[in-house]
Copies of this chain bind each other. A is one copy, B any other.
Amino acid sequence: MQAVEKKTKGPLNGVDTPTLFATIGAVKAQPELAKFRFRASNRWIAGTNSRSRMEAFQGAGSEHAHKAEYAYDADHPAVLVGEDRAPTPVEFLLHALAACLTAGIANIAAARGVKLTEVTSRVEGDIDLLGLLGISNEVRNGYQGIRATFDIKGDAPAQKLREIVEQSRARSAVFDVLTNGVPVEISIKAA
C-alpha cells in the first residue's frame, strides 16, 4: 500500500511518474509498442574527425523526430596523431554508460518515492593500443576493463540508495551492451 501510495504521488526528481507508470501499463497491454530502432548517420570530415547526426527513431508504433537536431563530432587526440577536435569514440562509450545508469537511477528512485539530491559518477576505461595499432595480435582492440563509481545522495537510507543504483544496473541498456556484447553487421558500398 505504501508503495502504491507513493507511486500515485506524482512527479519526483523531474520524472513524471504517473506518465511513466501509464507508459509501462500501455506497453504491457500492447508489447509491440516496446520495439524501438535508433539511428545515427556519420560523415567523415578530415583525418580522424567525423560527425554523427542522431536521426529520427522508431518506437511505440511510429517514427519520432528529436526535439532538436543533434550532431556530435569525434576525433583522435594529438598524442594519437589526431587534431583533438572532439573526444575519442571510446570516450563516448563512457558517456553512454554513465548517462544510461543515471537516467535509470532517477526513474527508479522516483518510482520508489525517493527524492534524489545529487547523483554523480566517474567512469574510466583502460585500453592498450598495442591491439588497435596492429602491433600485437594478443592484445584486444577495445577497453580491457571499465570502472564506474557512483555517488548518490537522497532522502533514503544508504542501503535503499544503493539498491536503486543496483536496479538501474540490472535494467541498463548500455550496461547490457557493454558487458554482454551485441551482434554488429557491417555492409560496405565502395566506389
Chain A residues near B (Cβ < 8 Å): 13-16, 19-20, 23-24, 27-28, 31, 34-50, 52, 54, 57, 59-60, 64, 66-68, 70, 72-103, 105-107, 116, 118-136, 139-153, 158-159, 161-162, 165-166, 169, 171-191
Distance between Cα atoms of A45 and B101 in the complex (Å) = 13
- Contact assessment for B89 and A36 in the assembled complex, using a CB-CB cutoff below 8 Å: no
In the complex, which residues of chain B have a beta carbon less than 8 angstroms from the beta carbon of A133?
24, 27, 34, 171
Known: A37-B126, A116-B44. A175 touches B50 (CB 8 A): no
Contact of A128 among B36, B43, B174 (CB under 8 A): B36
- Contact assessment for B144 and A95 in the assembled complex, using a CB-CB cutoff below 8 Å: no
In the complex, which residues of chain B have a beta carbon less than 8 angstroms from the beta carbon of A184?
97, 145-148, 175, 178-179
Q: How far is the CB of A141 from chain B (nearest CB, A)?
A: 4
Q: How far is the CB of A64 from chain B (nearest CB, A)?
A: 6
Residue of B nearest to A88 (CB): B38
- Contact assessment for A50 and B98 in the assembled complex, using a CB-CB cutoff below 8 Å: yes
In the complex, which residues of chain B have a beta carbon less than 8 angstroms from the beta carbon of A94?
38-40, 52, 54
Known: A34-B135, A36-B128. 17 other contacts (CB 8 A): A13-B46, A16-B81, A24-B133, A31-B135, A34-B129, A35-B129, A38-B88, A42-B102, A44-B119, A49-B103, A59-B79, A67-B78, A70-B86, A101-B186, A143-B173, A162-B188, A178-B182
